Amino acid sequence: MSNKLYASYDQEVNENGSEKNDFAFKVDQFGDIKIMRYQVPGFEDLSLNQKKLVYYLSQAARCGRDIIFDQNMKHNLDIRKSLDNIVETYQGDRQNDDFNSFMVYVKRFWFSNGFHHHYSSDKFFPEVSEEYFKELIKNSDKAGFPLSKDEDLDEFSNTLIKLIFDKDYYPKGTSQDSESDIVKASAVNFYENVTKEEVEQYNKSQQHGNDETPVSHGLNSKLVKENGTLQEWVYKIGGLYGPAIKEIVKWLEKASGVAENQNQKNLIEKLIAFYKTGDLKTWDEYNILWVNDLQSHVDFINGFIETYSDPMGLKGTWESVVNFKNVEATKRTEIIAENAQWFEDYSPVDQRFKKDKVTGVSAKVITVAQLGGDCYPSSPIGINLPNADWIRKEYGSKSVTMENITYAYDQVSKGNGMLEEFVYHEEDRRLSRQYGTLAGNLHTDLHECLGHGSGQLLEGTSSDALENYASPLEEARADLFALYFMMDDKMPELGLLPNLDAAKAAYNSYIRNGLMTQLTRIEPGKNIEQAHMRNRQLIAKWAFEKGQQENVIEQIVDNGKTYFVVNDHKKLQEIFGELLAEIQRIKSEGDYEAGKNLIEKYAVKVDPEIHKEALMRFKKLNIAPYGGFMNPDFKLKEENGEIKDVEVTYPSDYTQQMLHYGKEYSFL
């Protein structure tokens, strides 16, 4: 299971009522991407020890950067080192169109941690000729290329160009195409020389029938067939990715020395033990300590965690987020957490699939101080961990809303014209401006804090029963839980929303996004692959079809432009409830066939006419549909070798940050 929430389309490109901030949030735009910065308000108010803790954990967050490149595709690191070398040492003209196009490619490569699009997972290409690329290589410092022994520059150059330019070479990062062998068809570096069937058999052989506390098999390893036998290459010191993990551990050790309390110290040391041994039982023990640590002000994620990128849904990509609590905004999530049992009891799912007793829902709003690995530069806006079902059931989960990230998105997307273009009624635009941000934040809180944590599996149901359909179904379940309750009178009663008009704004934007605006992220002729996009279309399309007779959602064409308008929000809430009940049943019973049918019927295929129209209307607005973030820097202020303070600064040159990380934080 994977529990990370990304900004929905409307969050990445919306327009809303929050106040304008003078800080330059947006620093770059290229391809379909905008680069932003986030502020770290409240850093100055941390104690010196807390500041040091943030500093050490941030260093650890940077040290795993190479890992994610290599996990995404086994040649990515060599390519990145080559691109960095060209950018730094190329002796030719840097002012012409070719060089600019080359730089767009490099920036995209850095952004995606490799040459597959971070969202669609399709391979992308430089818009320069192979000849020009050869010129770039020839006129750069030869010593800076990662040539293997007895390889000359020409050979190297040819290999590199084939890797980058050949359309049939590693075309897809993670393939979800159910027609093909998704293990073979995926470029991700989790498997070598094995078929999907072999992986499935191997995974089965690793499961022990009645284990109530199963470890996350395969989470931290690559499965390789060598000389006819399957073996796991484990990520650990002395194992795969050892040199990078050693650096991470070095900084974690320093962090442990300034931990805020004994529990935090214990959990950091447990994580270090995991990195030294690769033992998944230790990983679980770490997660239990981590989920129980509610006292610490500074907190972090660091490890092989989310399994979205593995077509088989087992291998964890490396990521890190360093943060501290936003005490004021956390009051909102505390109300939600305090009422978790009420939500579980009143959820529209079958009694058998509900938890009698909701344990340890903890939720907080955080201020992000550093992003790393799979969370950088493309950052989620909310995270709910740990992922192991049995730990969640027994010890609860920790859920965070990353509000300084959402805030930066909001600031950048002001007045971009989306509402004018895609919203039909002026009244709906007004609702969106007035309540968009509030409703968006609350949706994230409900999704993370309650949605993922709700419900339970029937006894005997395996947590990986839904296989490659698990991620979109899990995201749909969490979204539906949030959507269903947003329209409940309980919201104004608890003071979470001023009134139900705010919920209307959330419904309008969800449907608009799921049926239309998110399609602007998909290239013509392509299907939807990404889990969150699949879940959003699944929900919106299913609701559209279900409410067709009563005209709950109306498709209006005016002046050649298509709009989707919600006419009956109360009825739509019921429909959301019905789908939530069905998806919970699918998860609780492990009904693979039903899950597959829902996804394949509603979530994958794109309406070609609507798609074309959405792309055309969107293009005129000149908005980059995706966003990501540069990290702030932390500088130590030392006197006589003693750290007196830590200062935060906000660099604004994306290229410099990437080159800097490539130089100082590359260990593989």
**3-state DSSP assignment of residue 642:** strand
**Orientation of helix 76-89 relative to helix 153-165, angle to 10°:** 110
Residue with smaller CB distance to Zn ion, 5 or 321: 5
How many residues in the chain? 668
Q: Kindly tell me which residue out of 271, 431, 478, 659 binds Zn ion, with binding defined by CB under 5 A.
A: 478
> Which part of the chain contacts Zn ion (CB under 5 A), choosing from 41-49, 403-411, 473-481, 584-592?
473-481
CB of 217 to Zn ion, least distance (A): 22
Residue with smaller CB distance to Zn ion, 366 or 624: 366
469, two tokens: 């359909």
Closest by alpha carbon to 221, among 204, 239, 195, 200?
239
> Which part of the chain contacts Zn ion (CB under 5 A), choosing from 3-11, 17-25, 396-404, 501-509?
3-11
Residue with smaller CB distance to Zn ion, 3 or 186: 3
Residue with smaller CB distance to Zn ion, 70 or 445: 445
CB of 446 to Zn ion, least distance (A): 11
Sign, CA torsion 31/37/38/43: positive
CB of 398 to Zn ion, least distance (A): 14
Distance of CA 639 to the CA centre of its chain: 40
| Residue 97-136 contact track with Zn ion, rule CB under 5 A, x = bound | ----------------------------------------
| Residue 610-639 contact track with Zn ion, rule CB under 5 A, x = bound | ------------------------------
Q: Kindly tell me which residue out of 1, 5, 366, 603 binds Zn ion, with binding defined by CB under 5 A.
A: 5
Closest by alpha carbon to 540, among 585, 606, 627, 595?
606
Three-state DSSP string of 324-369 = EECHHHHHHHHHHHHCHHHHHHHCCCCHHHCCCCCCCEEEEEEEEE
The residues with which 371 forms a beta bridge, in sequence order, are 321
The residues with which 534 forms a beta bridge, in sequence order, are none
One-letter amino acid identity for 606? Answer: V
> Which part of the chain contacts Zn ion (CB under 5 A), choosing from 40-48, 172-180, 273-281, 469-477?
469-477
Helix (H) or strand (E) holding 658: helix 654-664
CB of 473 to Zn ion, least distance (A): 11
Residue with smaller CB distance to Zn ion, 46 or 539: 539
> Which part of the chain contacts Zn ion (CB under 5 A), choosing from 69-77, 119-127, 146-154, 468-476?
468-476
Is residue 330 within 8 A of residue 365, CB to CB? The reply is yes
Task: Please give the Cα distance from 503 to 337 (Å, whole number).
Answer: 19
**3-state DSSP assignment of residue 383:** strand
Residue with smaller CB distance to Zn ion, 445 or 467: 445
Q: How far is CA 222 from CA 233, 315, 398, in A?
A: 5, 8, 28
Helices (H), 26-174: 48-63, 65-72, 76-89, 97-112, 130-138, 153-165
Which region, left, alpha or beta, applies to residue 640 given φ > 0 means left and ψ of -120 to 50 means alpha? left
The residues with which 370 forms a beta bridge, in sequence order, are 322
Helices (H), 352-469: 389-395, 403-412, 418-422, 426-445
In this structure, the number of other CB atoms found within 10 A of the CB of residue 121 comes to 22
Residue with smaller CB distance to Zn ion, 405 or 658: 405
CB of 304 to Zn ion, least distance (A): 18
Residue with smaller CB distance to Zn ion, 451 or 628: 451
Asked if 337 is part of the footprint of Zn ion (rule: CB under 5 A), the reply reads no
CB of 350 to Zn ion, least distance (A): 22
CB of 441 to Zn ion, least distance (A): 15
> Which part of the chain contacts Zn ion (CB under 5 A), choosing from 244-252, 424-432, 472-480, 618-626?
472-480
> Which part of the chain contacts Zn ion (CB under 5 A), choosing from 2-10, 41-49, 311-319, 340-348?
2-10
Asked if 446 is part of the footprint of Zn ion (rule: CB under 5 A), the reply reads no
One-letter amino acid identity for 455? Answer: G
CB of 370 to Zn ion, least distance (A): 22
CB of 383 to Zn ion, least distance (A): 8
CB of 584 to Zn ion, least distance (A): 15
CB of 508 to Zn ion, least distance (A): 21
CB of 504 to Zn ion, least distance (A): 23
CB of 510 to Zn ion, least distance (A): 14
> Which part of the chain contacts Zn ion (CB under 5 A), choosing from 69-77, 467-475, 504-512, 628-636?
467-475
**3-state DSSP assignment of residue 216:** coil
Backbone angles phi, psi at 583, to 5 degrees: -70, -35
**Orientation of helix 262-277 relative to helix 242-257, angle to 10°:** 170
CB of 15 to Zn ion, least distance (A): 24
Closest by alpha carbon to 197, among 156, 234, 246, 230?
230
CB of 5 to Zn ion, least distance (A): 4
> Which part of the chain contacts Zn ion (CB under 5 A), choosing from 169-177, 417-425, 474-482, 652-660?
474-482
Residue with smaller CB distance to Zn ion, 6 or 190: 6
Q: Give all strands of the β-sheet with 298-306 in edge-to-edge order.
A: 4-5, 382-385, 397-402, 361-373, 317-325, 298-306
Is residue 648 within 8 A of residue 43, CB to CB? The reply is yes
CB of 7 to Zn ion, least distance (A): 12
Cβ-closest position to Zn ion: 5
Residue with smaller CB distance to Zn ion, 361 or 478: 478
CB of 460 to Zn ion, least distance (A): 25
Q: Which of residues 258-277 bind Zn ion (CB under 5 A)?
A: none
Question: Within 13 A of 100's CA, how many CA atoms are on the CB side?
Answer: 6
Task: Please give the Cα distance from 504 to 521 (Å, whole number).
Answer: 25
Residue with smaller CB distance to Zn ion, 34 or 118: 118
Residue with smaller CB distance to Zn ion, 451 or 547: 451
Residue with smaller CB distance to Zn ion, 3 or 411: 3
Residue with smaller CB distance to Zn ion, 5 or 515: 5
Backbone angles phi, psi at 664, to 5 degrees: -90, -20
Residues in contact with Zn ion, total (CB under 5 A)? 4
Backbone angles phi, psi at 311, to 5 degrees: -60, -25
Residue with smaller CB distance to Zn ion, 5 or 164: 5
Asked if 383 is part of the footprint of Zn ion (rule: CB under 5 A), the reply reads no
Residue with smaller CB distance to Zn ion, 199 or 381: 381
Sign, CA torsion 577/578/581/583: negative
How many Å from the N-terminal Cα to the C-terminal Cα in the chain? 29
One-letter amino acid identity for 214? Answer: P
Q: Which of residues 401-430 bind Zn ion (CB under 5 A)?
A: none
Residue with smaller CB distance to Zn ion, 7 or 438: 7
> Which part of the chain contacts Zn ion (CB under 5 A), choosing from 5-13, 143-151, 155-163, 612-620?
5-13
Is residue 359 within 8 A of residue 290, CB to CB? The reply is no
Gyration radius (Cα) of the chain, Å:
24
Per CB under 5 A, residues contacting Zn ion are 3, 5, 475, 478
